[in-house]
Amino acid sequence: MSRFWSPFVKDLVPYVPGEQPKLQKLTKLNTNENPYGPSSAVLAAIQDGLNDDLRRYPDPNSEQLKTAIAEYHGVDIAQVFVGNGSDEVLAHIFHGLFQHGKPLLFPDITYSFYPVYCGLYDIPYEAIPLDAAFQIRVNDYTGMKGGIIFPNPNAPTGCFLPLAEIERLLAVNTETVVVIDEAYVDFGGESAISLVSRYPNLLVTQTLSKSRSLAGLRVGFAVGHPDLIEALERIKNSFNSYPLDRLAQRGAVASFADQPYFEQCQAAVIAEREALVRGLAELDFEVLPSLANFVFCRHRSRDAAELAAGLREDGIIVRHFKQARIEQYLRISIGRPAESAVLFESLKRLL
């Protein structure tokens, strides 16, 4: 800390991202990346973009990418906003779409970035406890509020809230922006994008980081009413419109064009999730029902921090949150079958 810091910066509590180790040997099951590489069509498109054009600025509107997303999801291009990862899209949403002065509502146990953004943008919030089964109870999201946001499936639980429940929430919350963060929706969930044409206050965010294996490229997007999208564009353009770079735009467009590869990876991750759930249950873990590319589980007799440390000694990284109610849980990203085998071998040794 320096005396040159403003009181605002002194008070900031920044987000702590999951560890990104340098050692390639590690079995990395801690940050929900896709265990399979990007589509070869994406790599070819990026290679193709490595040319003299890089001296030119990219398209500030990412028009081709927005068109690809709009076509893929059956919406109008005016309903699409893109950013450098969905975290940046969320930053713009927190900056400009939640009403200051009234609390933003999100679940207690959710993506830990939300309270960080609230601190950054000076937004009061209320964290609403999940029910006994770790599910979101939509009836609790009432009263005076400046907005509602939650991931679906939720993170780090993996629990999915059916669209009928989201519609129930939207039916009674017509005057506040409702954001559904669908970072993990492609692993068995159902997208609320199908609802955006009926609910002008609904905004859905997605990312290419998980189901499209492009966490390193940083591409995310939001779909909603053109008025909400216009607000996000205004905010983005007030930051000198830092657009997606040329390679990210190209790679992302190519990803939407390769549906067979997307479906192949999706099916492989889902199949491996089911295998992991069965194996963990056999080792006396209680596993929450997950429709994400990770599982959230608790061993019935062993301490989670000790298990995480033991796995780490065996070169396996999983996520352990030191947070009330979930300190006995581990979040394990879905890897390749060979990575699950390494995990099980270590767990059998530790248990």
Q: Name the site residues for ligand PMP (rule: CB under 6 A).
A: 85-87, 111, 151, 155, 181, 183, 207, 209, 215, 220
DSSP annotation of 17: P
49 vs 151, beta carbon nearer ligand PMP: 151
Which pair of tokens denotes residue 64? 């081709």
Q: How far is the CB of 292 from ligand PMP (least distance, A)?
A: 9
Q: Structure tokens of 77?
A: 């291009």
Q: Which is nearer to ligand PMP, 183 or 276 (CB)?
A: 183
Rounded Cα gap, residues 118 and 204, in angstroms: 19
Output 85 or 146, the one with its CB closest to ligand PMP.
85
Q: Is the CB of residue 232 less than 8 Å from the CB of residue 96? A: yes
**How far is 38 from 117, CA to CA, in rounded Å?**
30
Nearer to ligand PMP, 111 or 117 (CB): 111
Task: List residues bridging with 320 in a β-sheet.
Answer: 330
Nearest distance from C-beta of residue 319 to ligand PMP, angstroms: 11
- Give the residue closest to ligand PMP by C-beta: 85
Least distance in angstroms from the C-beta of 215 to ligand PMP: 5
CB 116: neighbour CB atoms within 10 A? Answer: 17
87 token code pair: 């975290």
Tally Cβ neighbours within 10 Å of residue 183: 24
Query: What's the min distance (Å) between Cβ of 240 and ligand PMP?
Result: 20
Looking at the DSSP assignment, which residues form a beta bridge with residue 175?
Answer: none
Q: Which is nearer to ligand PMP, 325 or 348 (CB)?
A: 325
User: Taking the complex as a whole, how short is the minimal distance between the CB of residue 6 and ligand PMP, in angstroms?
Assistant: 27
Min CB(306)–ligand PMP separation in Å: 25
Q: Which is nearer to ligand PMP, 141 or 221 (CB)?
A: 221
Q: Which is nearer to ligand PMP, 183 or 248 (CB)?
A: 183
Query: CB of 285 within 8 A of CB of 298?
Result: yes
Alpha-carbon distances, residue 141 vs 90, 136, 253 (angstroms): 20, 9, 37
The count of C-alpha atoms lying within 13 angstroms of the C-alpha of 131, restricted to the half-sphere facing its C-beta, is 10
Output 236 or 299, the one with its CB closest to ligand PMP: 236
Tell me if 184 sits within 8 A of 293, measured CB to CB: yes
HSE (side-chain half, CA atoms, 13 Å) at 14: 5
CA 105/CA 130 separation, integer angstroms: 12
DSSP state for residue 79 in the 8-state scheme:
G
| DSSP line for 105-116 | EEEESS-THHHH
Closest distance between ligand PMP and the C-beta of residue 183, in Å?
A: 4
Shortest Å, Cβ 221 to ligand PMP: 9
